[in-house]
């Protein structure tokens, strides 16, 4: 796990590029505290900040080059199948200089060209300079676990692991994109390929891009293949267990100790149980003072059952201080409030290990968001869910509104996929956004929101609604929200987080399972097949726990800590957010009744204001 940055600028002298690259890499020191390396020549510069995990020697440093010095490579991430790839390449006559997993990419490129990325299994963002062809290959892993930004400036291309590094390059204007701000206030994050700055984009998951002759050619190199699954559920449980164990075992490859997060939930408990079969694991759980957040007693029971060396760390959170610290490492405004405890947990975890396994991705792959995937199951089960919703709202007990979950799910099930994408994820209503941004902005911006899932919907057009719902999450909110959160909050502390559920063999298998083996249209817990895999591994009754999630008591924190800050910053004359939003509408939103639902839109306003103030300060 590292940071990478670079520039390809024909005609620009090496001395000028060197100074630019030094500034870019300086912004990525937290991602790679173990050293920095550069390659600079006329017209091209590649930089790398290293977090040494595999091959800790000097030969593992980057940029790496091939035998004749014609190729140069920087990589952020890990290639889990590198041992097999290396053996095959050596049999083909390739000579290796190191024991690093990254070096296999150079030799794969010599064999397969830009198709080399299809051979890789792991999490990665990479940049490979082909000097004889004056061509740059950029690529991101299948699920977008590792980030990569690009910016075209005339005939020059800038790229980096984080947006701040591109800004530090000095040639790309830091002009905020109003469309990105609108999307952020709708979803709590800036969705790919947008970035918060005009002219800078994210590469999508499973995207490769080739820069040559001043042009960037972009292509998706992977989407899930149909695989044949077992017809008997018992056989499927066994087959899934084998695939998961193979993935977990691959994710343990490292030259430094690997630990694991353990919350006591199904996902993390399954990962730890399978890892414990192959290594003596250390596990980490943070005990929060708030009983609603604290999963430490459950995690303690799982750790004792599995026999791990367990670390339980008491953590007292100062929400205001934590928010200030976390925003400093947010590449873009990011209003998923679970980033705050994630930041705190990763800071503590770095004292225990340099690499940790996580259960992230389990919900999206196996159907853990029960409400969302139950809606998809209802869509597949009922011919006219909207009509049934209208009938239910006219009779007790739904008429009073006290029990509205089922009619609401039925109404969502009646929507087209693109409309349901927005309805299920939005943190503000379309009316609120119209008031904040004005009706002139709303039409185009709302259309842009609906374009976000369009590629995933097209890829899954003929799939069962449950499989399609899973894939839409895997392709959109998983990389843009969950994995972004984990990457930024962990790399802030130089911590590598690995996600064994996001192995493409596992994902393709899950998407081939009968939907009823994953979720149900009935109000029962999801991840049904994964629970069967976990049952013999974890203590009794762990599987009976309702899904908790890694959340903060947002409304309570708003009332006790954040609303005074919002009043001071967002409602004051000269507020940064007022550049893009109507001040009176911000005030009206702030003073509307708090209610029971989490007021994510208020938190999003505060985060945006704090983030914009940091950008202003950095620009001076």
Statement: residue 301 has pLDDT above 70: yes
Top pLDDT among 373 and 552 is at 373
* Pick from 99-108, 308-317, 338-347, 373-382: least confident: 308-317
Q: State the pLDDT at residue 289.
A: 78
pLDDT digits (tens, 9 = 90+) for 177-204: 999 999 999 999 999 999 999 999 999 9
Nearest in space to 191 (alpha carbons), one of 454, 391, 371: 454
Sign of the torsion formed by the C-alpha atoms of 395, 401, 405 and 410: positive
The confidence band for 406, taking pLDDT boundaries of 50, 70 and 90, is confident
Statement: residue 620 has pLDDT above 60: no
Alpha-carbon torsion, ordered 439, 442, 443, 449, to 10 deg: -170
Could you give the maximum distance between any two Cα atoms of the chain, in Å?
77
- Encode 39-52: b = buried (16+ Cβ within 10 Å), e = exposed: bbeebbbbbbbbbb
CA–CA separation, 102 and 99 (whole Å): 9
Q: State the pLDDT at residue 170.
A: 76
Percent of the chain with pLDDT over 90: 81
Over range 60-69, report the average pLDDT: 94
The H-assigned helical ranges of 414-518 are: 417-425, 430-437, 439-451, 454-459, 465-475, 477, 484-491, 504-510
Over range 409-422, report the average pLDDT: 95
CA–CA separation, 456 and 223 (whole Å): 9
Question: Hey, is 534 helix, strand or coil?
Answer: helix
Integer angstrom CA distances of residue 360 from 96, 252, 533: 34, 16, 17
pLDDT digits (tens, 9 = 90+) for 99-116: 999 999 999 999 999 999
CA–CA separation, 610 and 601 (whole Å): 14
pLDDT digits (tens, 9 = 90+) for 569-608: 999 999 999 999 999 999 999 999 998 889 999 999 999 9
CA–CA separation, 374 and 281 (whole Å): 35
- Give the DSSP per-residue string, 66-108: -TTS-EEEEEEEEETTHHHHHHHHHHTT---S---STHHHHHH
Q: State the pLDDT at residue 600.
A: 97
Statement: residue 40 has pLDDT above 80: yes
Phi, psi (5° rounding) for residue 279?
Answer: -160, 155
pLDDT digits (tens, 9 = 90+) for 423-441: 999 999 999 999 999 876 7
Q: State the pLDDT at residue 522.
A: 83
Could you tell me if 202 and 192 are in contact, meaning their C-beta atoms sit under 8 angstroms apart? yes
Rounded to a whole number, what is the distance in angstroms from the first to the last CA of the chain? 31
Could you tell me if 281 and 260 are in contact, meaning their C-beta atoms sit under 8 angstroms apart? yes
CA–CA separation, 28 and 392 (whole Å): 55
Could you tell me if 145 and 499 are in contact, meaning their C-beta atoms sit under 8 angstroms apart? yes
Could you tell me if 433 and 182 are in contact, meaning their C-beta atoms sit under 8 angstroms apart? yes
Statement: residue 561 has pLDDT above 90: yes
CA–CA separation, 263 and 342 (whole Å): 12
Nearest in space to 72 (alpha carbons), one of 128, 134, 133: 128
Q: State the pLDDT at residue 542.
A: 82
Over range 352-378, report the average pLDDT: 93
The CA-based angle 167-203-460, given to 5 degrees, is: 150
The confidence band for 219, taking pLDDT boundaries of 50, 70 and 90, is very high
Q: State the pLDDT at residue 31.
A: 96
Alpha-carbon torsion, ordered 374, 377, 379, 384, to 10 deg: -90
Question: Hey, is 244 helix, strand or coil?
Answer: helix
Mean pLDDT of the chain: 93
CA–CA separation, 481 and 474 (whole Å): 11
The CA-based angle 121-124-130, given to 5 degrees, is: 100
Could you tell me if 184 and 177 are in contact, meaning their C-beta atoms sit under 8 angstroms apart? no
- Give the DSSP per-residue string, 310-330: EEEEE----HHHHHHHHHTT-
Over range 509-516, report the average pLDDT: 96
Q: State the pLDDT at residue 173.
A: 73
Domains parsed from the chain with CATH numbers: 2-220 (3.60.20.10), 233-365+476-544 (3.40.50.620), 374-414 (no CATH), 416-469 (no CATH), 553-620 (no CATH)
Active site residues: 2
Q: Residue 230 CB: number of other CB atoms within 10 A? A: 15
Over range 288-312, report the average pLDDT: 88
Q: State the pLDDT at residue 506.
A: 98
């Amino acid at each position: 796990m590292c940071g990478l940055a670079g520039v390809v600028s024909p005609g620009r002298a090496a001395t000028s590029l060197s100074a630019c690259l030094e500034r870019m890499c300086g912004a990525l020191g937290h991602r790679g505290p173990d050293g920095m390396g550069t390659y600079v020549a006329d017209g091209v510069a590649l930089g790398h900040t290293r977090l040494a995990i595999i091959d800790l020697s000097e030969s593992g440093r980057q940029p790496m080059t091939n035998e004749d010095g014609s190729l140069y490579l920087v990589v952020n991430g890990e290639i889990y199948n590198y041992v097999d790839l290396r053996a095959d390449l050596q049999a083909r006559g390739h000579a290796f200089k190191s024991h690093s997993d990254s070096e296999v990419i150079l030799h794969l490129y010599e064999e397969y060209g830009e198709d080399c990325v299809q051979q890789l299994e792991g999490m990665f963002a990479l940049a490979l300079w082909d000097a004889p062809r004056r061509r740059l290959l950029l690529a991101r892993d299948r699920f977008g676990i590792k980030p990569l930004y690009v910016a075209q400036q005339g005939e020059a291309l800038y790229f980096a692991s984080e947006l701040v590094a591109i800004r530090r390059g000095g040639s790309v204007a830091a002009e905020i994109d109003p469309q990105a701000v609108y999307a952020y206030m709708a979803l709590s994050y800036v969705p790919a390929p947008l970035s918060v700055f005009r002219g800078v984009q994210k590469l999508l998951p499973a995207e490769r891009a080739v820069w040559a002759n001043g042009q960037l050619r972009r292509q998706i190199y992977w989407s899930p293949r149909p695989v044949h699954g077992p017809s008997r559920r018992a056989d499927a449980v066994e087959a899934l267990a084998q695939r998961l164990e193979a993935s977990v075992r691959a994710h343990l490859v490292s030259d430094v100790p690997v630990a694991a997060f353990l919350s006591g939930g199904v996902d993390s408990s399954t990962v730890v149980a399978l890892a414990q079969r192959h290594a003596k694991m250390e596990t980490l759980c943070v005990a929060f003072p708030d009983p609603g957040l604290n999963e430490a007693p459950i995690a303690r029971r799982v750790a004792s059952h599995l026999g791990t060396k367990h670390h339980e760390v008491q953590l007292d959170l100062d929400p205001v201080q934590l928010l200030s610290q976390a925003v400093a490492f947010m590449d873009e405004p990011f209003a998923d409030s679970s980033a705050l405890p994630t930041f705190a947990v990763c800071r503590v975890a770095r004292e225990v290990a340099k690499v940790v396994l996580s259960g992230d991705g389990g919900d999206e792959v196996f159907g853990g968001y029960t409400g969302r995937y139950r809606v998809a199951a209802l869509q597949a089960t009922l011919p006219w869910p909207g009509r049934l919703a209208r009938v239910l709202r006219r009779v007790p007990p739904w008429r009073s509104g006290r029990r509205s979950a089922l009619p609401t799910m039925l109404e969502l099930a009646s929507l087209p996929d693109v409309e349901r994408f927005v309805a299920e994820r939005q943190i503000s209503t379309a009316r609120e956004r119209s008031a904040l941004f004005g009706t002139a902005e709303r039409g185009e911006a709302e259309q842009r929101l609906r374009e976000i899932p369009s590629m995933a919907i097209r890829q899954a057009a003929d799939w069962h609604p449950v499989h399609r719902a899973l894939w839409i999450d895997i392709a959109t909110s998983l990389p843009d929200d969950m994995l972004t959160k984990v990457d930024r909050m962990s790399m802030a502390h130089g911590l590598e987080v690995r996600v064994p559920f996001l192995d493409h063999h596992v994902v393709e298998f899950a998407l081939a399972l009968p939907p009823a083996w994953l979720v149900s249209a009935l109000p029962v817990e999801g991840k049904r097949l994964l629970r069967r895999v976990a049952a013999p591994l974890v203590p009794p009754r762990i599987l009976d726990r309702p899904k908790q999630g890694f959340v903060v008591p947002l409304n309570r924190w708003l009332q006790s800590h954040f609303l005074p800050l919002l009043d001071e910053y967002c409602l004051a004359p000269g507020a940064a957010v007022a550049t893009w939003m109507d001040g009176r509408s911000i005030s009206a939103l702030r003073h509307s009744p708090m209610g029971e639902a989490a007021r994510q839109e208020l938190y999003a306003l505060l985060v945006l204001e704090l983030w914009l103030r940091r950008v202003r300060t950095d620009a001076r």
